[in-house]
Amino acid sequence: MAGSSQKKRAKLDKSQSDGKPPPAKAQKTAAKATASSSAVRKSKPAKAKAKATATAGQPVEKLPDEIAIPALVTNQSAKETFLISAGTYERLLYGIEGRFADGQLTLKPQFIIPAHTGCIKAVSAGGRFLASGSTDECIKLYDLKKRVELGSLHEHKGTITSLFFHGRSHLLSASEDGAICIFRTKDWEPLKVLRGHKGAVSSIAIHPSGKLALSVSQDRTIIIWNLLTGQRASRSKTPQPGEIVAWSPSGSSYIIGYATEIQIYKVGQSEPTATVFSKQRIMAAIVAEYKGKVYVLAGCQDKRVYIFSLEGKELGSIMCHDNRIKGISSVDVTFPDESVHTVVATISSDGWIKAWKLDDMIEHVLSAAAEEDNNIEPLAAYNADVRLTCVVASNNIFS
């Protein structure tokens, strides 16, 4: 790969402070968590350390076949427990475990780490690995199974804006520097730098097959990347700067989110099949499936999650928080009766983390009760008492 002679090993950041310590309350919480046996312990860098990518301005080379990202054969099976990982303005990384006890879901902290020297802007989980990105321009890596910090990746020259794992094998990262990096989790080798955007990359998403990726940018473009060749497949203009991009679980459709609207696409079609217009600022969005149908869930500034059909029809909304919603994610979970359901995790600016049953959310907006604004209760809630910024829900590997 170009610039291999300039590669350097990633170093484990020993200093976690930029001279502005977190609020006393956050420091106290972090101290308690890191002292507990369940907290993720820092360690020396992993045996296989990351190396720097080619410097800006160097040409993008073709991705060799032997390091092409493989397709996922099967999805990871749902477990009885799950993990909600959330980043904060206070530079803390939270890990909240969801577990059923006597039939009731509980949310309890597994770890609280002073992870960065800047605000955490992105977080992603893939199998045993957890990654967080920050305004400090670095990506922190953790092995959740061994409960150790692996080190840091310093490939970008700007705020990390988006992280996305493909299964357990690869990690994609995006930044305000306009670049997208592909890392191999086996040794955290930076395999490729994708350059195509002229502005900050806002969001990235990998197709469930692992063969394609989408990225949207402040330069008002969306790029479809062929991950088998490491080349740009297509580049299209968007009506405004894109902020969110997400695939449906089956990979048959995807969405592009803007400040107050969402465009819905079907694979193979260049024009959106539907456009959703919102009166509220859209902060986060996901695509979920329930009983064979696809729905778009959008968390907005008015504290509600709005639910739309794939045809763009607004089905209703649920008041989920007392402050603006900052993030939304989902994971399949095995319930006590052995049935599998999708759990939706939402976070708000006031520090609340809540878990919802997708079944309840969809059935509610489809029922007459939604017209009376009788909102449902979450399965469980946890108050982190900090300013939350981003979230990802994943199968729990602690148990």
pLDDT (tens digit per residue) in 198-247: 999 999 999 999 999 999 999 999 999 999 999 999 999 999 999 999 99
Band of the pLDDT at 399, cuts 50, 70, 90?
Answer: low
| pLDDT confidence of residue 375 | 84
Quick one: what percent of the chain has pLDDT higher than 70? 78
Nearest alpha-carbon partner for 209 in 163, 160, 256, 267 = 267
pLDDT (tens digit per residue) in 44-94: 334 344 433 333 333 333 344 434 444 444 455 678 899 999 999 999 999
Residue-number span of the structural domain to which 245 is assigned: 4-395
Reduced to 3 states (helix: H, G, I; strand: E, B; else coil), residue 63 is: coil
pLDDT at 9 over 90: no
At 213, which CATH number? Answer: 2.130.10.10
Alpha-carbon span 68 to 230, nearest angstrom: 8
Residues 6+ positions from 19 with CB-CB distance below 8 Å: none
pLDDT (tens digit per residue) in 45-58: 343 444 333 333 33
Residues 6+ positions from 17 with CB-CB distance below 8 Å: 114, 117
Taking CB atoms within 8 Å and a gap of at least 24, the contacts of 297-302 are 297/328, 297/344, 297/361, 298/257, 298/262, 298/328, 299/325, 299/326, 299/327, 299/328, 299/346, 300/324, 300/325, 301/325
Asked if 183 and 192 count as a contact pair (C-beta separation under 8 A), the reply is no
Q: What is the mean pLDDT of residues 103-126?
A: 96
Q: What is the DSSP letter of 30?
A: H
| pLDDT confidence of residue 68 | 47
Q: What is the mean pLDDT of residues 23-40?
A: 42
Q: What is the mean pLDDT of residues 305-315?
A: 96
Alpha-carbon span 393 to 107, nearest angstrom: 12
Asked if 255 and 205 count as a contact pair (C-beta separation under 8 A), the reply is no
Alpha-carbon span 104 to 112, nearest angstrom: 24
Q: Which residue has the higher pLDDT, 244 or 5?
A: 244
How many domains would you assign to the chain? Answer: 1
Output the CA torsion sign for 224, 228, 229, 230: positive
